[in-house]
Structure 1
Amino acid sequence: MSSPPPLAGGTRGPDALRPLLTTVLDALHDGATRRAGPLPAGGPATVAARLRDQAGTLLPAQGTGADTALRTLVTALTEGAADPADPLCAAHLHCPPLAVATAADLAASALNPSMDSWDQAPAASALEDLVTTTLAREIYGDPRPPADALVTTGGTEANQLAVLLARETTPGPGPLHLLVGTNAHHSLARATWLYGLPDPVTVPAPTGTLDPAALDAALSDLPGAKLVAATAGTTDAGLIDPLPEIADVCERHGARLHIDAAYGAGLLFSARHRRLLDGLARAHTVTLDLHKLGWQPVAAGLLALRDTTDTAALTYQADYLNADDDTEAGLPDLLGRSLRTTRRPDILKIAVTLKALGRTGLGALTDQVIALAHHLARLVDDHPALELYDTPTLSTVLFRPRGAPPETLAAIRRALLTEGRAVLGRARTDDGGLWLKATLLNPHTDPGDLAALLKLVEGHTPR
């Protein structure tokens, strides 16, 4: 009988991993070389056909062995990947992860702690406590009792968790009413559906940010428990709502305040731009998503809480995970820190990044991509054939060829995708206008890359 394949953990794990990592790294290089751009050329059908051909039979009667399987499939996946490390891959809030964070993620996979009970993750649970309280302190300072944060898969889960906690902790007759701007992330509206709450009250955002006066009027007409969700970094344009004014309105009406800072939370580390988040600490809950302006591999979300007693709503007892006598004996109860049971130790890569780069290093990355956005905006503004939507707040730039109808913009974007030349997003503003969107998250992008991007757009614009 043959020996079972080697494992990643234990004292023998590193020796088993080392040659496999060489194979993976070579395959990553080979796949990127074959792709030779930000996106595979040919469009969905071509990419899928090439992947099927390269993958072959995925469940053969006899396996190919680890080296062949890794080399074949990692090369194929890389060749067919959208690569956020390419300067012309700039459509979404899809960051190129830092090498140090990715290396830490490998250790998390090898150790495989499961963050649902202390006996599966002794050190990881202690590290999570250190990181979550550290990040909560960045928002709230050092209140008594200390603030905390819960680890999530990203902004969507954090927003949905914020709505759930508000439903469970906000007093008032009748159901909780959620108020959002027209600029809010779709996950908030989906949360009301998920929890059986009334549809959100949508408040105008005529300049792309939530209007405090309109919010004041909307709150005046609503009875019972109310939750306002503001945004610090909109998905479409990277705009930040007037947080201090919104917090004032919420206090006058006794409404709970949540701020979705999934995009904008990276400003916390920037001495130059942190002021844009004034008012953040007045929120009851705040969404952070460090696989945006945090340069983490997916997933790396958090929900910060000013009042840790809110987490009591998540309390649940499962004897095999958090028996009462174990909790009374001092074993930490992890089940009440998430709606998920099994979850990865995503906190390790975040911890390693915080320690490796520090506040100054992370702030410098944030400053760099914002500076790149301002440079691109100036290039657009100076270009006679292009039109700029507005000066960027974060790292998102909206622009379009002058006079181009929506169907032309859509065709330009899809042509660049099909050719594998550039990845641009699309955004529709409150006035109904359609724009091309460049979201700059790669600090290695240079001015020449930005000029090349605009040249590609210009070259695909009908004359």
Structure 2
Amino acid sequence: MNVSDNNPILSGSAQSIAAYQDAIEQSSKAVVEWLKQPEMYQGKTVEQLRERINLNFTAEGLGNQATIERAVEYFLKDSLSVHHAQCVAHLHCPSLVISQAAEVLINATNQSMDSWDQSPSATIVEIKLIEWLREQVGYQAGDAGVFTSGGTQSNLMGLMLARDAFFARQGHSIQQDGLTGDLSKIKVFCSESAHFSVQKNMALMGLGYRSVTQVKTDVFSRMDAADLKAKLAQAQANGEQVMAIVATAGTTDAGAIDPLTEIAALAAEHQIWMHVDAAWGGALLLSEKYRHFLNGLELADSVTLDFHKQFFQTISCGAFLLKDARHYELMRYQAAYLNSDFDEEHGVPNLVSKSLQTTRRFDALKLWMGLEALGKKQYAEIIDNGVTLARQVAEFVSAQPDLELVMQPQLASVLFRFRPQSDDVAFVALLNQRIGDVLLASGAANVGVTEADGVTCLKLTLLNPTVCLKDVKVLLESVKQTAEQLLNA
């Protein structure tokens, strides 16, 4: 078969360009119509979607037009409208229009960030953005960092380098010789509210869940520095060695920011690597009102940032920043076809040695275009809007007799619950769980269901800068009505 017969490949030929324009136009028109639909979700169950969606791989193929039509029918129409005012369950943001435009450029050019000769201009853009991000954090000038798929991967990089640096101080190379010694004595500390990727990554690195010691949190889900100090002393008394402390700047539910400066002081005193998971709270780097919440971030050995949360970029887009570039030597690997010694001696940039990935998308373009399109002032405004709105919503919830504020908001999330006239803890918990389930099943709203200090509650994650207090009041009224229906059923 001659590939040019039906032009499936994007290229510079007239036929290919015409096919590309037709496919993009058809897809764009479908997205525009989908954006206009009033429903947040069509309300189909798992069983209904499983029955409805069928793959159709034929011998001859359906062609571009028919395939796009099927994708619109079976995927797009049944997708969650993350831009909808009532879609507030998760750290799942609506995206900037300019981010959508960036995706067109990223996808069409298909650059791979693992070598200069696969991504020349893209490599320089990423390096310059890493330099800029380091400046925002408060690190010294440099380019030690890399774009990642998101928080879990960035946290893995921080923990992996912390582990390798820990062993290197003892004269042992993990890269060359693997894990050694009594691994049961090696510990990582994080708060009870830290992201589950700490445990997940420690298991992935061969040290297991048991290596993770959880530090108590205060009433706002922030790491208790006094308990951290006590647990460090206890670890020392037990003959244990702490390879890293993971602080969190923006816990998933409460948006809590640990006391970074106090944690950094303890880490420095005990010569322990400090990694900060700022996947959510890192957005405050651009804030005009709340930047001080991140004081102490510059003291961390490594930092996780996500841009597909409150930076409003499309998934995926994250970054890992490393304070001391020398630690990158712990994971360095030379592949002659990608990052040869000859190239590096002649100043050719090498990003593959900074990443856990080899082939990697040029996601940095989205952040660059977002910053240039919006400017720092407008970016700050839409980030600050969520934090300010959360405080307004909390005040409103506190004034409602049948709603209870579970915790004062810190970033852009509000934890609350419907509170019927009942002292049955299990009944109240199940009621709130069912409220969330019924709202999603109806397609009316997507409200998070979680736990805070053992209390089952509902969560509003107010990332959407187009949402205002009036929209949230409508949602809260839906919560009340749903609760009443369930109570009367």
CA contact (8 A) 1:233 1:261 kept: yes
Equivalent residue for 1:187, pick from 197, 201, 224:
197
Q: Does 1:111 align with 2:109?
A: yes
Q: Does 1:211 align with 2:221?
A: no
Question: What secondary structure is seen at the aligned counterpart in 1 of 2:82?
Answer: coil
Tell me what 2:130 maps to.
Answer: 132
Matched residue type, 2:29: D
Superimposed CA distance per residue, residues 431-451 of structure 1 (whole angstroms, 9 cap, x where no aligned partner)? x11110110111011222111
CA positional deviation for 1:140? 1.8
Tell me what 2:23 maps to.
Answer: 20
CA positional deviation for 1:29? 3.2
CA positional deviation for 1:308? 1.2
Question: What secondary structure is seen at the aligned counterpart in 2 of 1:388?
Answer: strand
Relative distance call for 1:126 and 1:14 in structure 2 (3 A) is farther
Superimposed CA distance per residue, residues 165-185 of structure 1 (whole angstroms, 9 cap, x where no aligned partner)? 101113556654210110100
CA contact (8 A) 2:288 2:384 kept: no
Question: What secondary structure is seen at the aligned counterpart in 1 of 2:89?
Answer: coil
Alignment of 1:138-217 (within 5 A): 138-141=136-139, 143=140, 146=142, 148-170=144-166, 176-197=186-207, 199-207=211-219, 208-217=221-230
Moved more, 69-78 or 356-365: 69-78
Tell me what 1:441 maps to.
Answer: 463
Matched residue type, 1:135: L
CA positional deviation for 1:137? 1.1
CA positional deviation for 1:192? 1.1
CA distance in 1, matches of 2:132, 2:204: 31
CA distance in 2, matches of 1:331, 1:169: 27
CA distance in 2, matches of 1:42, 1:7: 35
CA distance in 2, matches of 1:73, 1:307: 46
Tell me what 1:374 maps to.
Answer: 391
Relative distance call for 1:328 and 1:26 in structure 2 (3 A) is same
CA positional deviation for 1:11? 7.7
CA distance in 2, matches of 1:151, 1:14: 31
Question: What secondary structure is seen at the aligned counterpart in 2 of 1:170?
Answer: helix
Question: What secondary structure is seen at the aligned counterpart in 1 of 2:241?
Answer: coil
Matched residue type, 2:136: E
Equivalent residue for 1:303, pick from 320, 345, 349:
320
Equivalent residue for 1:30, pick from 26, 33, 57:
33
Superimposed CA distance per residue, residues 68-120 of structure 1 (whole angstroms, 9 cap, x where no aligned partner)? 21132134312111121001111100001111011111101100011111111
Relative distance call for 1:238 and 1:391 in structure 2 (3 A) is same
Relative distance call for 1:225 and 1:375 in structure 2 (3 A) is closer
Matched residue type, 1:422: A
CA positional deviation for 1:200? 0.5
CA contact (8 A) 1:237 1:427 kept: no
CA positional deviation for 1:203? 0.9
CA positional deviation for 1:9? 4.9
CA distance in 1, matches of 2:189, 2:339: 36
CA distance in 1, matches of 2:392, 2:39: 23
CA positional deviation for 1:126? 0.9
CA positional deviation for 1:58? 2.1
CA contact (8 A) 1:31 1:77 kept: no
CA contact (8 A) 2:190 2:212 kept: yes
Question: What secondary structure is seen at the aligned counterpart in 1 of 2:106?
Answer: helix
Relative distance call for 1:9 and 1:235 in structure 2 (3 A) is farther
Gaps of 5+ in 1: none
Superimposed CA distance per residue, residues 109-157 of structure 1 (whole angstroms, 9 cap, x where no aligned partner)? 100011111111111111110111111110025x2x5253211100000
Question: What secondary structure is seen at the aligned counterpart in 2 of 1:351?
Answer: helix
CA distance in 2, matches of 1:44, 1:271: 43
Q: Does 1:455 align with 2:477?
A: yes
CA distance in 1, matches of 2:482, 2:223: 35
Tell me what 2:76 maps to.
Answer: 78
CA positional deviation for 1:186? 0.3
Matched residue type, 2:81: D
Alignment of 1:22-101 (within 5 A): 22-32=25-35, 36-52=38-54, 57-101=55-99
CA distance in 2, matches of 1:9, 1:245: 56
Question: What secondary structure is seen at the aligned counterpart in 1 of 2:197?
Answer: helix
Tell me what 2:176 maps to.
Answer: none
Question: What secondary structure is seen at the aligned counterpart in 1 of 2:253?
Answer: coil
Gaps of 5+ in 2: 171-180, 421-426
CA contact (8 A) 1:8 1:111 kept: no
Tell me what 1:355 maps to.
Answer: 372
CA positional deviation for 1:31? 3.8
Relative distance call for 1:11 and 1:330 in structure 2 (3 A) is farther
CA distance in 2, matches of 1:452, 1:11: 52
CA distance in 1, matches of 2:365, 2:44: 38
CA distance in 2, matches of 1:19, 1:379: 49
Moved more, 68-77 or 407-416: 68-77
Matched residue type, 1:365: I
Matched residue type, 1:219: L
CA distance in 2, matches of 1:11, 1:337: 37
Q: Does 1:246 align with 2:263?
A: yes
CA contact (8 A) 1:31 1:76 kept: no
CA positional deviation for 1:324? 2.5
CA contact (8 A) 1:38 1:88 kept: yes
CA contact (8 A) 2:106 2:365 kept: yes
Matched residue type, 1:210: M
RMSD across aligned positions (CA): 1.9
Question: What secondary structure is seen at the aligned counterpart in 2 of 1:313?
Answer: helix
CA contact (8 A) 1:32 1:78 kept: no
Relative distance call for 1:14 and 1:218 in structure 2 (3 A) is farther
Question: What secondary structure is seen at the aligned counterpart in 1 of 2:319?
Answer: strand
CA contact (8 A) 1:32 1:79 kept: no
Aligned residues: 455
Alignment of 1:290-439 (within 5 A): 290-403=307-420, 405-430=428-453, 432-439=454-461
CA positional deviation for 1:6? 5.2
